[in-house]
């Protein structure tokens, strides 16, 4: 006779003691990033826990420090993907949103940053990023 235990949402493993976000958080990452297919930029970043629960993370130094505040992200139920919901982490009228996947300590994130541009007339400018986060 076999038994199966159903874990509370956001937890996994046979004892239901590991948060799904554990594979991402409190790690130092080396980031290589391309903006709108330009040359690559490299920088360091971290992902930390969020008080919002076991699915929630905060990403530091996103877009090489484009945002003063941390960017919030949610981990999928399976734990292999994350979502950056549309948000304005700062009060500078820039918005970010995107999707990422984690595989073998490599987090690949596709995201956009949108903002109002006034050159030569006011319109919304959207920059696209491909960001590879590697945990050494």
What tens digit of pLDDT does each residue of 106-134 get? 999 999 999 887 777 778 889 999 999 99
Q: What percentage of the chain's residues is helix, strand, coil (to nearest 5)?
A: 5, 55, 40
Helix ranges, the chain (H): none
Angle at 67 between CA 64 and CA 72, to 5 degrees: 105
What tokens were used for 80?
A: 């292999």
pLDDT of 28-69, one tens digit each? 899 999 999 788 899 999 998 888 888 888 999 999 888 888
Q: Quick check: 1 pLDDT over 60?
A: no
**Domains contained in the chain, CATH given:** 21-134 (2.40.128)
Taking the C-alpha atoms of residue 69 and residue 48, their distance in angstroms, rounded to an integer, is: 13
Q: What percent of the chain has pLDDT over 70?
A: 96
**Burial label, 62 (beta-carbon count in 10 A; 0-12, 13-18, 19+):** buried
pLDDT value of position 23: 84
CA nearest neighbour of 61 among 96, 105, 104: 96
pLDDT value of position 120: 73
């Amino acid at each position: 006779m076999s038994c199966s235990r159903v874990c509370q949402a956001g937890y996994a493993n046979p004892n239901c003691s590991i948060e799904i976000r554990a594979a991402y958080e409190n790690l130092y990452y080396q980031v290589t990033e391309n903006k709108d297919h330009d040359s690559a930029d490299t920088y360091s970043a971290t992902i930390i826990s969020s008080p919002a629960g076991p699915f929630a993370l905060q990403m530091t130094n996103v877009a090489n420090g484009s945002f003063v505040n941390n960017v919030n992200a949610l981990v999928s139920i399976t734990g292999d993907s994350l979502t950056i919901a549309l948000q304005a982490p700062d009060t500078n009228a820039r918005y970010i949103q995107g999707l990422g996947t984690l595989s073998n300590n490599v987090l690949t994130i596709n995201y956009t940053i949108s903002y109002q541009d006034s050159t030569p007339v006011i319109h919304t400018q959207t920059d696209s990023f491909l960001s590879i986060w590697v945990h050494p």
